[in-house]
């Protein structure tokens, strides 16, 4: 007998999306100087959700000036314990409004409500709580006896975890006494704008947080603004490289969190059922729109066949569809452009001779959708094994010895994360030691915690976010 789950949609009524938004500058929503607006849509239905302004250079300048003034007059000299009060207040309001934020995030981004409700929003609140705790303890963080804030931080974040990336950027910056101008991604601006409302609700002094919406040009204007002291970017390696070039020769400090092509290594003595869960979580979590996604599965040859059979069986159980349905495992691809990229690279995978497989699944007619896909028979030379796809596409490679696994895992321009699956503790330690990746997960994957630093090697960027280490990027010492 088949157990069909009836639709269980989370109600949209908790969110109140305005037809249009302003730029959040100096504590209030203002019209853009040149009045240009763009639409943000729900990728699951292509429904227009709201219109938001595209900030031009004059708007960026206004925002940076507001941040500068706030830094010099209020925030930079405020006692750490007092800054902490604001951060705690923001964290509590995020918890109080968590359902609203989760629904809005799923609408604007396409990710399943189960993820925004159980992962994104709780981590956002946790991040603010965590850094609120640091605000009055900075002299003991190991960055000198009297670390000072840097000044104004220009922050540009991606669309895959809109609110979470905002928290990763804003919480440590504010805790350290910096003020910020943040640009959310053009496809997912809405939760950042609700966060602006939360700043008002928390009575954060005007200018401490400024949110400006827009696309690449807005981001470039922000990063290149001469009065920005610190640039923080999360996104593609291509844009990260451009930013690094544009700030070269200036006094600006930079942290970049870029792409990845993580290896998830499964040894023959792994806990197979949990490894299968970890592989699924590693690549299909958030539709694979995760920079640290385990997009390359390296499986020991002696268990490859069995593991793949288990993985395929598990994939037939994945539930794809309405992001607001509480039982959905995989939601919509964030944009038409991203869907194109995933399709193109997947077709290249087939052309290069890898074997493609997806479980039978019905995709909705409207919106941007891509079935979870695995490629077997992939070699290191294939483009799908080298390039970041940023979608629900897994490349499966095999290995015979631990040395071969490590060699293949490290043979990539990236180095953001990796996973090791084995019941043997000594092997975990040895392999983790040899992997050149910022995060190595053992017998788990895609686990995040505000106290754990996160960041990359090589083309995955530089600087660390999260934990005590995450303070360094926002302190002059």
Partner 1 sequence: MTATAARPADPTEVVRSESALRTFLHGLPGVDQVGAEQRAAMLSTRSIKTTAKQWAIDLAIRMVDLTTLEGADTHGKVRALCAKARRPDPEDPSCPSVAAICVYPSMVPTAAAELAGSGVHVASVATAFPSGQAPLAVKVADTEAAVAAGADEIDMVINRGAFLAGRYREVYDEIVAIKAACGDAHLKVILETGELATYDNVRRASWLAMLAGGDFIKTSTGKVTPAATLPVTLIMLEAVRDYLDATGRRVGVKPAGGIRTSKDAIRYLVLVNETAGDGWLDPDFFRFGASTLLNDLLMQRSKMKTGRYSGPDYFTLD
Of the candidate residues 6, 146, 248, 381, the single one contacting partner 1 (CB under 8 A):
6
* 315 is a contact residue toward partner 1 (CB under 8 A): no
Q: How far is the CB of 443 from partner 1 (least distance, A)?
A: 5
Of the candidate residues 72, 269, 352, 404, the single one contacting partner 1 (CB under 8 A):
269
- What's the Cα-to-Cα distance from 340 to each of 156, 230, 345, 359, 379, rounded to whole Å? 23, 34, 9, 20, 23
CA dihedral 269, 273, 274, 280 (to 10 degrees): 120
Given 257, 459, 465, 472, which residue is catalytic? 257
Instruction: Considering only residues 321 through 350, tell me which ones interact with partner 1, judged by CB under 8 A.
Output: 326-327
CB 101 within 8 A of CB 112: no
* 431 is a contact residue toward partner 1 (CB under 8 A): no
Q: Which is nearer to partner 1, 86 or 285 (CB)?
A: 285
Residues found in the chain: 477
Instruction: Considering only residues 384 through 423, tell me which ones interact with partner 1, judged by CB under 8 A.
Output: 423
Which of helix, strand or coil describes residue 397? strand
* 3 is a contact residue toward partner 1 (CB under 8 A): yes
**Residue 126: closest CA among 174, 183, 68, 87:** 87
Residues linked to residue 463 through DSSP beta bridges, in sequence order? none
* 301 is a contact residue toward partner 1 (CB under 8 A): no
Q: Which is nearer to partner 1, 424 or 430 (CB)?
A: 424
* Residue 291 annotated as catalytic: yes
Binding mask 112-141 for partner 1 (x = CB under 8 A): --x---x-----------------------
- Taking the C-alpha atoms of residue 455 and residue 474, their distance in angstroms, rounded to an integer, is 15
CA dihedral 285, 370, 39, 286 (to 10 degrees): 0
By CB under 8 A, which span of 71-79, 133-141, 300-308, 388-396 interacts with partner 1? 300-308
By CB under 8 A, which span of 41-49, 64-72, 165-173, 272-280 interacts with partner 1? 272-280
By CB under 8 A, which span of 199-207, 216-224, 301-309, 467-475 interacts with partner 1? 301-309
CB 53 within 8 A of CB 37: yes
* 427 is a contact residue toward partner 1 (CB under 8 A): no
Of the candidate residues 82, 273, 340, 449, the single one contacting partner 1 (CB under 8 A):
273
Of the candidate residues 103, 182, 211, 303, the single one contacting partner 1 (CB under 8 A):
303
- What's the Cα-to-Cα distance from 369 to each of 2, 42, 230, 362, rounded to whole Å? 25, 12, 37, 10
* 44 is a contact residue toward partner 1 (CB under 8 A): no
- Taking the C-alpha atoms of residue 223 and residue 230, their distance in angstroms, rounded to an integer, is 9
Of the candidate residues 16, 248, 317, 426, the single one contacting partner 1 (CB under 8 A):
317
* 248 is a contact residue toward partner 1 (CB under 8 A): no
**Residue 295: closest CA among 335, 349, 240:** 349
**Residue 296: closest CA among 285, 282, 315, 276:** 282
- Buried residues in 99-108 as b, exposed as e (16+ CB within 10 A): bbbbbbbbbb
Alpha helices, H only, 208-294: 216-224, 237-247, 272-284
* 312 is a contact residue toward partner 1 (CB under 8 A): no
- Taking the C-alpha atoms of residue 152 and residue 173, their distance in angstroms, rounded to an integer, is 9
By CB under 8 A, which span of 80-88, 268-276, 336-344, 354-362 interacts with partner 1? 268-276
Instruction: Considering only residues 96 through 115, tell me which ones interact with partner 1, judged by CB under 8 A.
Output: 114
Alpha helices, H only, 263-401: 272-284, 301-315, 336-351, 383-386
Q: Which is nearer to partner 1, 8 or 363 (CB)?
A: 8
* 302 is a contact residue toward partner 1 (CB under 8 A): yes
Q: Which is nearer to partner 1, 114 or 261 (CB)?
A: 114
* 274 is a contact residue toward partner 1 (CB under 8 A): yes
Q: Which is nearer to partner 1, 60 or 307 (CB)?
A: 307
Distance from chain centroid for Cα 159: 7
Given 10, 115, 186, 291, which residue is catalytic? 291
Q: Which is nearer to partner 1, 300 or 412 (CB)?
A: 300
Instruction: Considering only residues 148 through 167, tell me which ones interact with partner 1, judged by CB under 8 A.
Output: none
CB 369 within 8 A of CB 320: yes
**Residue 345: closest CA among 295, 282, 415:** 295
With CB under 8 A, what is the number of residues at the site for partner 1?
29
**Which residues are identified as catalytic?**
257, 291
Using CB under 8 A as the criterion, which residues of the chain lie in contact with partner 1 when the complex forms? 1-8, 114, 118, 268-274, 277-278, 302-303, 306-307, 317, 326-327, 423, 443-444
């Amino acid at each position: 007998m088949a157990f069909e789950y009836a639709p269980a949609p989370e109600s949209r009524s908790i969110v109140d999306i305005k037809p249009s938004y302003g730029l959040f500058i100096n504590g209030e929503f203002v019209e853009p100087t040149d009045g240009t607006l763009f639409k943000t849509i729900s990728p699951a239905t292509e429904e227009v959700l709201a219109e938001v302004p595209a900030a031009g250079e004059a708007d960026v300048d206004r925002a940076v000036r507001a941040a500068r003034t706030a830094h010099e007059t209020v925030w930079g000299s405020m006692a750490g314990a007092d800054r902490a009060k604001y951060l705690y207040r923001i964290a509590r309001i995020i918890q109080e409004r968590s359902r609203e934020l989760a629904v809005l995030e799923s609408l604007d981004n396409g990710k399943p409500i189960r993820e925004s409700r159980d992962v994104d929003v709780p981590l956002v609140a946790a991040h603010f709580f965590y850094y609120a705790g640091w605000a009055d303890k900075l002299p003991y963080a190991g960055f000198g006896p009297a670390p000072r804030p840097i000044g104004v931080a220009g922050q540009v974040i991606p669309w895959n975890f809109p609110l979470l990336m905002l928290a990763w950027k804003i919480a440590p910056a504010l805790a350290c006494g910096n003020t910020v101008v943040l640009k959310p991604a053009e496809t997912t601006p809405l939760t950042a704008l609700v966060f602006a409302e939360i700043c008002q609700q928390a009575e954060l002094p005007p200018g401490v947080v400024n949110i400006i919406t827009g696309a690449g040009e807005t981001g470039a204007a922000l990063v290149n603004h001469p009065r920005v002291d610190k640039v923080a970017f999360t996104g593609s390696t291509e844009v990260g490289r451009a930013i690094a070039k544009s700030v070269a020769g200036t006094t600006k400090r930079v942290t970049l969190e870029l792409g990845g092509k993580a290896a998830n290594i499964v040894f023959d003595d792994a806990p197979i059922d949990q490894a299968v869960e970890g592989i699924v979580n590693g690549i299909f979590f958030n539709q694979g729109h995760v920079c640290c996604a385990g997009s390359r599965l390296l499986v020991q040859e002696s268990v490859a066949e069995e593991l793949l059979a288990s993985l395929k069986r598990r994939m037939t159980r994945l539930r794809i569809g309405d992001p607001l349905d509480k039982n959905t495992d995989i939601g919509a691809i964030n944009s038409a452009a991203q869907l194109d990229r995933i399709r193109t690279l997947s077709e290249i995978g087939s052309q290069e001779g890898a074997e493609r497989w997806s479980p039978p699944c019905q995709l909705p007619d409207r919106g941007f959708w891509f079935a979870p896909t695995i490629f077997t028979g992939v070699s290191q030379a294939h483009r799908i094994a080298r390039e970041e796809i940023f979608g629900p596409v897994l490349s499966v490679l095999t290995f015979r010895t631990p040395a071969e696994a490590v060699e293949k895992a490290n043979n990539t321009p990236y180095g953001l994360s990796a996973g090791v699956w084995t019941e043997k503790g000594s092997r975990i330690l040895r392999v983790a030691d040899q992997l050149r990746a910022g995060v190595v997960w053992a017998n788990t994957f895609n686990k995040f915690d505000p106290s754990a630093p996160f960041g990359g090697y090589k083309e995955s960027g530089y600087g660390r976010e999260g934990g005590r280490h995450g303070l360094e990027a926002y302190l002059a010492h």
